[in-house]
Amino acid sequence: MGWGRDLQVKKSGLEGSGENMDINNFMSTKEYAKTLDQEDPLVSYREEFYLNPGMIYMDGNSLGLLSKRAEKSLMKSLEDWKKYGIDGWTEGAEPWFYFSERLGELSAPLVGALEDEVIMGGSTTANLHQLAATFFEPRAGRNKILADELTFPSDIYALQSQLRLHGLDPSAHLVQVKSQDGKFLEEDDIIEEMNEEIALIVLPTVLYRSGQIIDMERLTKEAHARGIMIGFDACHSVGAIPHLFDNWEVDFAFWCNYKHLNGGPGCVAGLYVNRKHFARKPGLAGWFGSRKDKQFAMEHTFTQANSAGAFQIGTPHILSMAPLLGSLEMFAEAGIEQVRKKSLRLTQYLMDLIQSELTGYGFEIGSPRHESKRGGHIILEHPEAARICKALKQEAIIPDYREPNMIRLAPVALYTSFQEVYETVQVLKKIMDGRLYENYENKRGIIA
């Protein structure tokens, strides 16, 4: 069995409808899972991570696990602080003054960008505020922002805030594309809303619930044909799927680094700006957006960097960036294409097992079956989802719950084994057979 083999598309027999790609020779046995692990070219990276014995972690699309290299790079920055004090900004292996740019260079291949088009800093929502403040230029007749009704709520809050800052009513000026089924978005529906009133479009690359990949290339082309700026929230895609932001001529993008990139809780976020916009003044200027040679001149005239660095605001959070250096080193070695191949194989294997083992228990797969539309996680829908997630945790399997009825399972290419995917489905079957979920309230916890 080869990793590059073409996959055949067939109709699924599981509850619900959609296309499913069958991997030849699939068997719902532990021995088959072990065989897949033996063939895995990325298996050595599993040893790079801190894995708790007896626990299966399936929540890497919310918070990735700690790697030994991330720990090492964090400790190196602490050591530099200890050794150099303030001179750590210019001394050491990775001087802090250039750290955001260095991490941007390492991240650029993951999003298909030039090195100077990516910068690390801020948070996802802070970066969206920066980009919306920069690219949203309302004028008479063109003063609306287009988003969607399935996107992560924080994005909507930020866009509503930006509209209010311009004296515009969000209820009238924020257009949210409707989903036909509450799970997926249709590109045709998005394009239909791209009218002459739209000044800016902000969409997710991958829907955080269903895991659907949006056709970024097509939507960018259609937006630009209508004179509309377009940017993407790539939180659920960077580190899981390849991107070609430059080739697609995407105007901007932003993302967090604590999910698939395993940068740690509160890790700084990423920001991409296409080079054609480098002369554009940042909507929210700050001293770290200055040209490096001018920053400490302390002038009251802002001389912006001729790079994505211009869109930084405040001093970088060094200790919240440091773990990302070690993590990105692994992605540079493994290559995002290999990561994507294994990710697809893991999620396909998970769906095949669900179809084989869990039919008749009331589950429905709520993620795209076709690989071109499927991101790095799988949604399993069930009326008792909140209770089932609690039962899974009691069995030392860590899932993620999303309202109203969704179990998110994210097997991560660098550290999840096929045998762990197999065991997860077997435990799900055990929970359903024994009705173990009935021991819990069908209600989410404070953090789902």
Binding-site members are 124-125, 152-155, 233, 236, 258, 287, 315
- With tokens 């829907």, the residue in question is 207
Residue 324 near residue 257 (C-beta atoms within 8 A)? yes
Residue 179 near residue 204 (C-beta atoms within 8 A)? no
User: What is the Cα–Cα distance from 256 to 259, expressed in whole angstroms?
Assistant: 7
Output the known binding site for pyridoxal 5'-phosphate.
124-125, 152-155, 233, 236, 258, 287, 315
